[in-house]
Amino acid sequence: MKKTLMIGLDGATFSLLKPFMKDGTMPFLRRLVDEGVHADLMSTRNPLTPPAWISMVTGRSPHVHGVYDFLRPSYLDDGSVFLSINDSRNISCETIWAMVNRHGRRATSLNFYGMCPAFQVDGYLASGFVPWKHLRRGMYPPSFFDMVRSMEAFDYRSLGMDISEEKKCLQGLVEDEQEDWIRLQKKRDTAWTDLCCHLMRTDRTELTAVVLDGPDKLQHLFWRYVDANYLPEEPDERFIHIRDLCLEFYAQLDRNIKSMVETAGPDTNVILTSDHGFGATTEVVYINEWLSRRGLLTWANDAEDGGAGNLTANKMKDHLGMIDWKSTTAFCPTPSSNAIYVKKGNATTNGVKDGEYLEFCLNLKRELLDYRDPASGEQVIVDVDLNKLEGTPYVEPSPDISIRLRDGGFVSILKSDEIVVPRENPEGTHRPNGIFVAHGPDVKTGVQVEPLNLLDITPLLLHFLGLPAPENLEGRVPSEILRSEAAYAPRIEQPNVTKLPVRSRRKREDASPEEKEALISMLKVLKYID
């Protein structure tokens, strides 16, 4: 039986990888592309890690699986808002791991976002975005953690988020910390690679899937060092040194990919994917300030004294204390959401009545699209989606409105003197176009195809394994990438068989304060929180 290997490269983009393939930095990836199929892979509407990876491994959109962001807002009785962390219990539909298990096959899932607390799988599961002190909580079976901790190939702590390292970077990376940050990402990606290869050698499952998230973490902070469009004409020695370290990171990434593909063997169908692409952001747009100036959001009296800039796990408990919730009708809860939530009115708080909701959202959409940069007169918000129109399915807490900025960046939720502020230096941010590369016995050779959608990945993985796809999956099997002998009609599973992931019977405590603090720190480092 053919096996399948999926390698996820968080934030990978051909705008970087193709030049690196051409100049010899990533020769093995160039070989995979030359001998296989590649295409852009289009992300979710908001090209963000949580909704994108969850969509990729469920075959369902965020309005079905219910994960829109790292954090999820909920309303308290007084109308204020509380933010909690999205985790595996918030995924409202079946994962690829459960689909594969349901048909008697085994699966390995390594470093995917949102798989903690770990749930029962026939195979192995180790969630991403977990502090190393809590890795046991993110692993299944329970013995897996003990096995990983005893491995000599790497320090098991390298697999988790290290809050001490993230906290170093909150005020910006000084020179020594720049080098440490790059080396840390290389070390983490290599540790996940070593673990993946170990499992394929010792207890191979039919589906093996792993995410290397170093590209995203490096590109957020070092975009101007890796994008040729932003290289200075006469770089100084420091710039050259940091760029060389970045290039070595990608060379190691190439070696990691090679290790996993060669360990998997020539009879394995391999796909490389990314949850989104990457590009530059050159300005900050203060969306809550924009809402405030339209009378839709009221700042608290002490909002100027730190405000959301000091957002921590404790601040989450303070219900976003920079906003006067009783006087607020619309707000953006997190920068990474690129979304506006509309409060429903009641006797004690401001909000929109049901009969006025559609008109309110349509007017707000028009105003968002009409807003112009005072300095240039250009449109700032280039796309606005209304997510809760009558007849539109969604899982709460769905944002009412999703927006896209002209430079592709994420908004700021802080109070500000200006709504649009240029950045001192360009920084990395997300783009819709991710990467797709396929290579193996069932894949065509030397072909570039039209962009695929990340919703196509779950049907394709099931197809490679010879398994039927549930009929409610939103993607398709991209037959244009398959050799003629492999391009048989995909099997469709009969309706009413889709189930939620099997859950472990272990006690499920909420995320610890340290886990919350680690996530908030990471979001700050990566500039999701200004």
With a cut of 90, say whether residue 491 has pLDDT above it: no
Q: What are the CA-CA distances from residue 387 to residues 62, 145, 371, 401 (Å)?
A: 11, 40, 20, 6
With a cut of 90, say whether residue 33 has pLDDT above it: yes
Residue 382 lies inside a defined structural domain of this protein: yes
Mean pLDDT, the chain, integer: 89
Structure tokens at 362: 């349509």
With a cut of 60, say whether residue 171 has pLDDT above it: no
Angle between helices 237-264 and 27-35 (to 10 degrees): 50
Mark whether 46 and 98 lie in a shared domain.
yes
Q: List % helix, strand, coil for the chain (3-state, nearest 5).
A: 40, 20, 40
3-state secondary structure 184-233: HHHHHHHHHHHHHHHHHHHCCCCEEEEEECHHHHHHHHHHHHHCHHHCCC
Residue 167 lies inside a defined structural domain of this protein: yes
Mark whether 239 and 98 lie in a shared domain.
yes
Q: Which amino acid is at 468?
A: P
Structure tokens at 469: 């796809």
**Do 130 and 512 touch, CB atoms closer than 8 A?**
no
427, 460, 483 - which closes a domain: 427
Over range 260-284, report the average pLDDT.
97
Structure tokens at 201: 């050698």
Residue 530 lies inside a defined structural domain of this protein: no
Mark whether 288 and 372 lie in a shared domain.
yes
Q: How many domains does the structure of the chain reveal?
A: 2
Tell me, what's the pLDDT at 217?
Answer: 95
395, 427, 459 - which closes a domain: 427
d(Cα 46, Cα 56) in Å, to the nearest integer? Answer: 14
Tell me, what's the pLDDT at 79?
Answer: 81
Q: b vs e for 137-160, b when ≥16 Cβ sit within 10 Å of the residue's Cβ?
A: bbbbbeebbebbeeeeebebebbb
Residue 484 lies inside a defined structural domain of this protein: yes
Mark whether 202 and 260 lie in a shared domain.
yes
Mark whether 436 and 295 lie in a shared domain.
no
Over range 368-388, report the average pLDDT.
97
Mark whether 275 and 286 lie in a shared domain.
no
**Do 195 and 151 touch, CB atoms closer than 8 A?**
yes
**339-342/401-405 β-pairing:** antiparallel
Residue 175 lies inside a defined structural domain of this protein: yes
Tell me, what's the pLDDT at 504?
Answer: 37
Mark whether 339 and 469 lie in a shared domain.
no
pLDDT in tens, 180-215: 999 999 999 999 999 999 999 999 999 999 999 999
Tell me, what's the pLDDT at 525?
Answer: 67
Residue 489 lies inside a defined structural domain of this protein: yes
Residue 333 lies inside a defined structural domain of this protein: yes
With a cut of 80, say whether residue 464 has pLDDT above it: yes
Over range 411-437, report the average pLDDT.
95
Residue 390, strand partner residues:
none
pLDDT in tens, 49-89: 999 999 999 999 999 999 999 999 998 888 888 899 999 99
Mark whether 273 and 340 lie in a shared domain.
no
Mark whether 98 and 159 lie in a shared domain.
yes
Q: Tell me the CATH number at 490.
A: 3.40.720.10
Helix (H, G, I), strand (E, B) or coil at 98: helix
Q: What are the CA-CA distances from residue 478 to residues 55, 211, 310, 444, 482 (Å)?
A: 17, 22, 46, 12, 8
Q: Could you tell me the pTM of the whole model? A: 0.92
Helix (H, G, I), strand (E, B) or coil at 70: coil
Over range 349-354, report the average pLDDT.
83
**Do 251 and 218 touch, CB atoms closer than 8 A?**
no
The continuous run of DSSP H or E covering 262 comes out as helix 237-264
d(Cα 122, Cα 181) in Å, to the nearest integer? Answer: 35
Mark whether 291 and 415 lie in a shared domain.
yes
d(Cα 118, Cα 126) in Å, to the nearest integer? Answer: 7
Over range 386-393, report the average pLDDT.
88
Structure tokens at 519: 């996530």
Over range 243-263, report the average pLDDT.
98
pLDDT band at 12 (very low <50, low <70, confident <90, very high): very high
Structure tokens at 500: 């939620």
Instruction: Between 493 and 205, name the one with better pLDDT.
Output: 205
Mark whether 18 and 166 lie in a shared domain.
yes
Q: How many CB atoms lie within 10 A of CB 78?
A: 10
Question: Rg of the chain's alpha carbons, rounded to an integer?
Answer: 23
402, 427, 452 - which closes a domain: 427
Q: b vs e for 494-507, b when ≥16 Cβ sit within 10 Å of the residue's Cβ?
A: eeeebeebeebeee
Residue 286 lies inside a defined structural domain of this protein: yes
Mark whether 338 and 252 lie in a shared domain.
no
Tell me, what's the pLDDT at 307?
Answer: 40
Over range 367-395, report the average pLDDT.
94
Most distant CA pair in the chain, distance = 68
With a cut of 80, say whether residue 298 has pLDDT above it: yes
Which range marks the domain in which residue 136 is found? 4-279+429-525
Residue with tokens 């360990």: 263
